[in-house]
């Protein structure tokens, strides 16, 4: 038996893209996913509205099994619906009470599922769905049909539900606090701070571990396999590429873990509720806030988290601007450059270096909002934005589903984005390792080979540096120098801009290779020293406040993350949007870096 | 009067009519049909959106969406 989980909906008439999918699957008998049996899971505490969809599906003429879920709450609220009577009034359709939270009676449900007759219950209303092709033109008629349906449901329920349900007031106090104009935002912001602290704290160890494992694996293959280009490809291209995919898993898993808990408890709907008004002027809605803020950790899970936005245009805008939020991969770049060019000045507790870092995060957020505004004007849509949304009761999350969600999200990322990331990192590795003709070999041959073994390490670093300079990427870096010179950069930075495409933090490593020093600049000051002594053709320092700020702005805005592009392609199902994103973000980066450099220089 | 004008959360109203609009069917789907008893629960900061009780469940609506619903 194959079970297919369809997106949740309130009515069979589609109002968004995922509802359209359900509509097609259920209506077209020859659709490849058309089911033999539809299982409609209803909220037993709210039968009137849930029967709306259930009776529509019954009327479609597909064999149906109804499940009255959350039956424990129905008993608690003493709604007391006579389910046998209800089933009878609906034409004898099988109706099973259930409690998914405890899973009790699961065996009973399974046995019912096997025995349920795969035949259509006679429905007097099948007529409604005869010419559904025209439903789009007859909205007025659709509304009238909806009203008539509710009248019929009320009638049916009046026979089997003696007391209409009263609103339970048990959660109203929570709503008073969580949607409060002051407390509501304060609680939300503190929760966010806590979540990010936890994500950074908890993901550090596994991320370092993944890093070490792949580094060891790469060294091991290099040492074990016979020398040659294939070995180099595996140990320096393929394995680090794989590692570059896996390194994101801890952050993705944790972020989605937290989002799951916020969704399940019902809190997320309140966040949407209190932020909707603030986001609306920018072409976004309340549901955009979580992806935007998740972008501070990493744009990849953030783009994946936009799926909760059912309005396509608003979802697309959110996807387009999320990578402008300063993600954690930018942090090492900011740290290095701030240490290099920002003077050590303090006013009381405020330190200029810290202020610059904060300003970079702010500037990313502001750029995201204004780009959203721009897309709001450009993109056209017929879909109307709405926020008619249910605010669910507060519940404790089902912890057993937490692990499943985290695993599922990681799997999607590794399979879908992983393919592209792996391919591009292999290509970039080839471009960084090979050059045209024998330029690279002859340049390396010119470096004097040391006689003492103490200088061996230094020699190796020089070889690496010269090899990168004469590789295809090195040549490209020099070739693009005229284009980036107005921003205050030299060809060394050009090379790092290209290699950063694997991931932004690669900037630090590339700089270290180019200036042939060790990579750990925090413990080892050599990289900082070498960079600060760099002079341009006129004998002036390359890394000044002007070029440093220009470079930081470039990193803040430029789309230099192929993993994000891969995920955007997956989420939008086309290369069009990631390409637009690449172009507009690079343009934004170039222009703002150009302005900053010329203002400060 | 329309639902967006309500500020009193202690009394219930009956949905009288829903204005013709692309959102009309969405509102009906969600259970806001003429004859339904509703009550304002609370408002978001800046008074928009609002949350209403629809005989046992809570719906949120933007003000412009609430303006489509006439009540008595």
pLDDT at A166 over 60: no
Q: Are A65 and A46 in contact (CB under 8 A)?
A: no
Dig out the tokens for A407 from the structure: 């695993």
- CB–CB contact A388 B53 (8 Å): no
Residues A481-507 have a mean pLDDT of: 86
Reported as a pLDDT band with limits 50, 70 and 90, residue A331 is confident
Q: Which of A11, A181, A390 is opposite residue B59, by nearest beta carbon?
A: A390
- CB–CB contact A52 B45 (8 Å): no
What is the complex's ipTM, to 2 decimals? 0.94
Which residues of A lie closer than 8 Å to B, measured between beta carbons? 10-11, 13, 15, 45-46, 48-49, 52, 139-140, 142-143, 146-147, 150, 164-167, 172, 175-176, 179-181, 184-185, 269, 272-274, 276-277, 384, 386-393
Q: Are A433 and A474 in contact (CB under 8 A)?
A: no
Whose structure tokens read 């993993």?
A563
Rounded CA separation A395/A322 (Å): 30
Of A163-167, A194-198, A465-469, which gets the smallest average pLDDT?
A163-167
Q: Is B71 helix (H, G, I), strand (E, B) or coil?
A: strand
Burial class (CB in 10 A: 0-12, 13-18, 19+), A231: middle
Q: Searching chain A, which residue's CA lies closest to the CA of residue B41? A: A172
Contacts of A34 (CB under 8 A, 6+ apart): A25, A26, A28
pLDDT at A523 over 60: no
Contact residues, chain A, for B55 at CB < 8 Å: 48, 164-165, 167
Report the residue of B11, B49, B69 to disrupt the A interface, i.e. the one with the largest count of A CBs within 10 Å.
Answer: B49
> What would the pLDDT profile of A379-417 be if each residue is shown by its tens digit?
887 777 888 888 988 888 988 889 998 998 888 778 876
Burial class (CB in 10 A: 0-12, 13-18, 19+), A6: middle
Cα dihedral A389, A394, A398, A403 sign: positive
**Is the Cβ of B19 closer than 8 Å to some Cβ of chain A?**
no
φ, ψ for residue A212, nearest 5 deg? -65, -45
- Give the pLDDT of residue A73: 75
- Give the pLDDT of residue A130: 47
The alpha carbon of residue A272 is apart from the nearest alpha carbon of chain B, in Å, by 10
Contact residues, chain B, for A147 at CB < 8 Å: 28, 33-34
First to last CA, chain B: 7
Contact residues, chain A, for B60 at CB < 8 Å: 269, 272-273, 387-391
- Strand runs labelled E in A23-62: 38-43
The alpha carbon of residue A362 is apart from the nearest alpha carbon of chain B, in Å, by 24
> How wide is the angle at C-alpha A392 spanned by C-alphas A390 and A393, nearest 5°?
150
Report the residue of A146, A164, A184 to disrupt the B interface, i.e. the one with the largest count of B CBs within 10 Å.
Answer: A146
Q: Are A308 and A259 in contact (CB under 8 A)?
A: no
Q: How many CB atoms lie within 10 A of CB A445?
A: 10
Q: Searching chain A, which residue's CA lies closest to the CA of residue B42? A: A176
Which residue ranges make up each domain of chain A?
A: 17-160, 183-329+364-400, 404-600
Q: Cα A467 from chain centroid?
A: 37
φ, ψ for residue A569, nearest 5 deg? -60, -45
Of A57-61, A468-472, A521-525, which gets the smallest average pLDDT?
A521-525
Contact residues, chain A, for B62 at CB < 8 Å: 276, 386-387
Q: Count Cα neighbours of A48 within 13 Å in the Cβ-side half-sphere.
A: 26
Rounded CA separation A519/A527 (Å): 8
Q: Cα A200 from chain centroid?
A: 17
First to last CA, chain A: 70
CATH of domain A17-160: 3.40.50
- Give the pLDDT of residue A126: 55
Rounded CA separation B65/B51 (Å): 12
- Give the pLDDT of residue A139: 57
Contact residues, chain A, for B41 at CB < 8 Å: 172, 175
Reported as a pLDDT band with limits 50, 70 and 90, residue A169 is low
Q: How many CB atoms lie within 10 A of CB A212?
A: 11
Reported as a pLDDT band with limits 50, 70 and 90, residue A521 is very low
A324 secondary structure, DSSP code: G
Domains of chain B: 3-71 (2.30.30.90)
DSSP per-residue codes, A278-305? HHGGGT--GGGHHHHHHTTT-HHHHHHG
């Amino acid at each position: 038996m194959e079970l297919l989980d369809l997106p949740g909906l309130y009515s069979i008439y589609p109002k968004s893209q995922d509802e359209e999918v359900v509509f097609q699957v259920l209506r077209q008998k020859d659709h490849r996913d058309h089911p033999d049996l539809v299982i409609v899971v209803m909220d037993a505490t709210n039968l009137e509205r849930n029967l709306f969809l259930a009776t529509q599906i019954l009327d479609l003429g597909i064999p149906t099994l109804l499940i009255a879920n959350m039956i424990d709450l129905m008993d608690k609220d003493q709604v007391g619906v006579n389910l046998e009577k209800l089933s009878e009034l609906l034409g004898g359709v099988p109706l099973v009470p259930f409690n998914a939270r405890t899973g009790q009676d699961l065996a009973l449900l399974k046995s019912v599922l096997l025995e349920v007759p795969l035949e259509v219950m006679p429905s007097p209303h099948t007529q409604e769905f005869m010419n559904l092709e025209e439903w789009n033109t007859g909205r007025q008629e659709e509304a009238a049909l909806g009203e008539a349906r509710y009248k019929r449901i009320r009638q049916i329920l009046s026979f089997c539900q003696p007391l209409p349900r009263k609103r339970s007031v048990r959660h109203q106090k929570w709503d008073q606090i969580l949607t409060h104009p002051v407390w509501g935002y304060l609680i939300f912001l503190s929760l966010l701070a806590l979540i990010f602290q936890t994500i950074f704290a908890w993901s550090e160890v596994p991320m370092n571990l993944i890093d070490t494992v792949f580094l060891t694996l790469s060294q091991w293959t290099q040492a074990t396999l016979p020398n040659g280009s294939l070995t180099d490809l595996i140990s320096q291209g393929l394995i680090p590429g794989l590692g570059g995919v896996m390194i994101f898993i801890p952050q993705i898993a944790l972020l989605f873990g937290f989002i799951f808990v916020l969704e399940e408890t019902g809190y997320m709907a309140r966040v949407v509720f209190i932020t909707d008004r603030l986001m609306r002027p920018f072409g976004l809605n309340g549901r955009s806030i979580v992806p935007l803020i998740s972008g501070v950790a990493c744009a990849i899970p953030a783009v994946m988290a936009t799926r909760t936005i059912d309005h396509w245009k608003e979802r697309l805008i959110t996807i387009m601007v999320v990578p402008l939020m300063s993600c954690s991969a930018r942090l090492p770049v900011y740290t290095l450059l701030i240490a290099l060019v920002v003077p050590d000045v303090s006013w009381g507790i405020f330190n200029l270096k810290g202020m610059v870092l904060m300003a970079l995060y702010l500037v990313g957020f502001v750029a995201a909002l204004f780009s959203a505004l721009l897309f709001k004007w450009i993109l056209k849509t017929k879909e109307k934005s709405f926020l008619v949304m249910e605010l669910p009761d507060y519940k404790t999350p089902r912890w057993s589903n937490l692990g499943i969600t985290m695993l599922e999200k990681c799997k999607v990322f590794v399979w879908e984005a992983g393919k592209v990331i792996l391919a591009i990192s292999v290509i970039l590795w080839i471009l960084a390792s090979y050059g045209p003709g024998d330029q690279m070999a002859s340049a390396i041959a010119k470096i004097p080979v040391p006689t003492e073994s103490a200088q061996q390490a230094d020699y190796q670093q020089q070889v690496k540096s010269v090899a990168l300079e004469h590789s295809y990427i090195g040549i490209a870096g020099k070739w693009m120098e005229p284009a980036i010179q107005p921003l205050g950069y030299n060809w060394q930075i050009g090379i790092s801009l290209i290699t950063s495409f694997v991931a932004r933090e690669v900037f630090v490593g590339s700089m270290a290779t180019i200036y042939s020093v060790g990579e750990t600049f925090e413990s080892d000051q050599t990289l900082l020293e070498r960079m600060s002594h760099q002079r341009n053709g006129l004998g002036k320092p390359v890394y000044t406040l002007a070029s440093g700020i220009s470079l930081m702005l470039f990193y803040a805005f430029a789309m230099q993350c192929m993993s994000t592009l891969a995920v955007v392609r997956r989420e939008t199902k086309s290369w069009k949007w990631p390409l637009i994103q690449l172009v507009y973000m690079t343009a934004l980066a170039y222009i703002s870096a150009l302005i900053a450099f010329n203002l400060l220089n | 009067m329309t639902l967006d004008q309500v500020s009193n959360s202690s009394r219930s109203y009956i949905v009288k009519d829903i204005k013709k609009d692309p959102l009309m069917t969405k509102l009906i789907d969600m259970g806001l049909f003429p004859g339904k008893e509703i009550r304002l629960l609370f408002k978001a900061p800046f008074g928009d959106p609002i949350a209403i009780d629809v005989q046992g469940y809570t719906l949120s609506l933007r003000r412009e969406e609430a303006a489509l619903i006439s009540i008595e």
